[in-house]
């Protein structure tokens, strides 16, 4: 998937035919609703972005980003750009690194689906977790910035910033397993024995540790913009899966980069890397850092969480495969995801067995 990584963030392209809309209508709307906007407007589409079509709005003075719901048949509860707008706007008020938001448009007559507009944050989007383009001494500080930023999210007082109703507190794993089981089954294109076993085993073996925070849902290196020169997170992007949930679900999902099979969601994995030579923390060191930032003594049941996250990722990828089948996926690479679901389910079942599954 390395090529996709380069292409995913290799800038913009002309707007795809299936995602075109009346640009004059959009220009009139943003002129009325975006503070300081000055046309004329040029619209480009970002390459990749499998869930919500994402556009660059270029004006003579600055660039903006628009994210909209894709047109066509959609899975229930997916593509919630209105939720994304709500959480980014709330977090921006407490100095968490997110783009500045300007407006949310629920009038579907403007572009055909609801959308929101935010700042374009300039910086580096990196794809390969081994950070080959970064000097050795600069790698660990980037990992330290990533984990400090995730801890900042989990430590945020979500009630104080108006997000008390952003999700249902409690039973997070139960609800997630149910959600991704449904999505997987709606999108199923092949029978995978290990996935069926996980669907059966996971809900019956959830650890008893109820904590609650804002969770990002897809916190990983290529969903953030790093400062152009410093090891700082300038903006965390792609909040479509965010909700109130269990911080350990969110953290251990982020930790999957260390456990991912090479033929899983990404060929870019830290599994088997020479951490010392790369100057990158091991999974254990990274976990200790997270625990320090969030005042935890440690994390029990790690095998369960790895198993759960492999299952969840398999469900997410199968959803993309299903959208290819239904003709609503917005990325040509999505068809290749079909081959990656089984390896993830197999690793998930391996860790379930380590956690006691038979």
Report in angstroms the alpha-carbon separations of 239 from 96, 181, 235. 13, 21, 11
Strands 54-58, 42-46: pairing kind: antiparallel
- pLDDT of residue 52 exceeding 90, the answer is no
Q: What is the pLDDT of residue 3?
A: 33
Q: 159-163, 165-169, 259-263, 318-322 — which is least confidently predicted? A: 259-263
pLDDT of residue 344: 93
The yes/no answer on whether domain 136-354 falls in CATH 3.40.640.10 is no
Question: Alpha-carbon distance 296 to 172, whole Å?
Answer: 19
Q: What is the pLDDT of residues 296-345, one digit of tens each?
A: 999 999 999 999 999 999 998 898 888 777 776 656 666 677 788 999 99
At residue 192, the pLDDT reads 95
Q: What pTM was estimated for this model as a whole?
A: 0.87
Q: What's the number of CA atoms in the CB half-sphere (13 Å) around residue 52?
A: 25
Q: What number is the average pLDDT over the span 4-17?
A: 66
Classified by CATH at the fold level, domain 2-119 comes out as Phosphorylase Kinase; domain 1 (3.30.200)
Q: Which residue has the higher pLDDT, 29 or 2?
A: 29
**For residue 104, what pLDDT is reported?**
98
pLDDT at 340: 87
Which residues have a Cβ under 8 Å from the Cβ of 22 and sit 6 or more positions away?
Answer: 110, 111
Q: Give the separation between CA 182 and CA 75, rounded to whole angstroms.
A: 10
Could you tell me which residues come within 8 angstroms of residue 171 by beta carbon, excluding any fewer than 6 positions away? none
Which has more pLDDT, 48 or 66? Answer: 66
DSSP for residue 121: P
pLDDT of residue 333: 62
> Is residue 6 scored above 50 in pLDDT?
no
Query: In the chain, what are the domain boundaries?
Result: 2-119, 136-354
What is the predicted pLDDT for the residue at 4? 34
Tally the C-alpha atoms within 13 A of residue 192's C-alpha that lie toward its C-beta. 27
| pLDDT for the residue 47 | 85
> Which of 342, 336, 98, 68 has the alpha carbon at shortest distance from 235?
98
Question: Same CATH fold, 136-354 and 2-119?
Answer: no
* pLDDT band (50, 70, 90) for residue 2: very low
Q: Percent of the chain at pLDDT above 90?
A: 77
Q: How many Å apart are CA 52 and CA 68, to the nearest integer? A: 6
Of 109, 30, 80, 51, the residue nearest 320 (C-alpha) = 51
Is 111's pLDDT higher than 70?
Answer: yes
The answer on pLDDT for 1 being more than 50 is no
Q: What is the CA radius of gyration of the chain?
A: 20
pLDDT band for 93, please (50, 70, 90 cuts): very high
For residues 120-126, average pLDDT: 94
pLDDT at 74: 65
For position 210, what pLDDT does the model report? 79
pLDDT band at 350 (very low <50, low <70, confident <90, very high): very high
Mean pLDDT score across all residues of the chain: 90
Confidence of residue 27 (pLDDT cuts 50, 70, 90): very high
């Amino acid at each position: 998937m390395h090529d996709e990584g380069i292409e995913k963030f290799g800038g913009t392209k002309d707007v795809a035919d299936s995602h075109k809309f009346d640009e004059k209508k959009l220009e009139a709307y943003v002129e009325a609703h975006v503070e300081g906007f000055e046309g004329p407007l040029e619209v480009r589409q970002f390459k990749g972005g499998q869930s919500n079509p994402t556009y660059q709005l270029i004006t003579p003075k600055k660039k903006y980003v628009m994210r909209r719901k894709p047109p066509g048949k959609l899975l229930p509860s997916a593509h919630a750009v209105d939720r994304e707008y709500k959480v980014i706007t709330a977090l921006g008020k407490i100095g968490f690194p997110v783009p500045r938001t300007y407006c949310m448009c629920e009038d579907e007559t403007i572009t055909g689906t609801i959308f929101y507009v935010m700042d374009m944050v300039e910086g580096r989007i990196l794809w390969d977790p081994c950070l080959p383009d970064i000097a050795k001494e600069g790698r660990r500080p980037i990992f330290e910035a990533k984990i400090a930023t995730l801890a900042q999210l989990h430590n945020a007082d979500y009630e104080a910033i108006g997000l008390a109703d952003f999700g249902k507190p409690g039973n997070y794993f139960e609800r997630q397993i149910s959600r991704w089981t449904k999505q997987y089954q709606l999108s199923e294109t092949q029978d995978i024995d290990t996935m069926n076993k996980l669907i059966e085993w996971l809900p019956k073996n959830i650890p008893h540790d109820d904590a609650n925070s804002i969770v990002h849902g897809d916190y990983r290196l290529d969903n953030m913009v790093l400062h152009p020169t410093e090891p700082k997170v300038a903006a965390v992007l792609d909040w479509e899966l965010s909700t109130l949930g269990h911080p350990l679900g969110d953290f251990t999902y982020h930790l999957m980069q260390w456990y991912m099979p090479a033929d899983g969601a990404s060929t870019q994995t830290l599994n088997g890397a020479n951490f010392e030579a790369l100057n990158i923390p091991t999974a254990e060191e990274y976990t200790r850092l997270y625990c320090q930032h969030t005042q935890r003594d440690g994390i029990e049941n790690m095998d369960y969480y790895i198993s759960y996250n492999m299952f969840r990722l398999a469900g997410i990828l199968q959803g993309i495969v299903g959208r290819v089948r239904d003709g609503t996926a917005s990325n040509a690479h999505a068809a290749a995801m079909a081959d990656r679901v089984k390896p993830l389910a197999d690793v998930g079942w391996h860790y379930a067995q380590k956690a006691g599954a038979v």
